[in-house]
Amino acid sequence: MMYVLVGILALVAGVALGFFIARRYMMSYLKKNPPINEQMLKTMMMQMGMKPSQKKINQMMQAMNKQTGK
């Protein structure tokens, strides 16, 4: 009976610890690699030699959001 209780406690502790480690990792990843926003998209288009209009930027943002499932 004691072994089962210790096993359950270890499982709960492992799940909690794993959650917090994964959360910290994702927060640091998103800080280093932020998702693309309109300003970044506009800059990329200008670097590629395109003259970005707001309509084109909105279309590309909608396409990207649809593809990522947002």
Residue 70 sits in the same domain as residue 43? yes
DSSP 4-56: HHHHHHHHHHHHHHHHHHHHHHHHHHHHHSPPP-HHHHHHHHHHTT----HHH
**How many domains would you assign to the chain?**
2
Residue 69: strand, helix, or coil: coil
Give the range of the structural domain holding residue 66, as residue numbers without chain letter: 36-70
What pLDDT, in 10s, does the model give residues 9-67?
A: 999 999 999 999 999 999 999 888 878 888 889 998 999 998 889 999 999 889 988 88
Residue 26 sits in the same domain as residue 48? no
Residue 30 sits in the same domain as residue 43? no
Residue 28 sits in the same domain as residue 40? no
Give the residue, 69 or 32, on which the prediction is more confident.
32
Residue 8 sits in the same domain as residue 19? yes
Q: How far apart are the first and last CA of the chain?
A: 47
Q: Is pLDDT above 80 for 70?
A: no
Report the sign of the C-alpha dihedral through residues 44, 49, 54, 56, in that order. negative
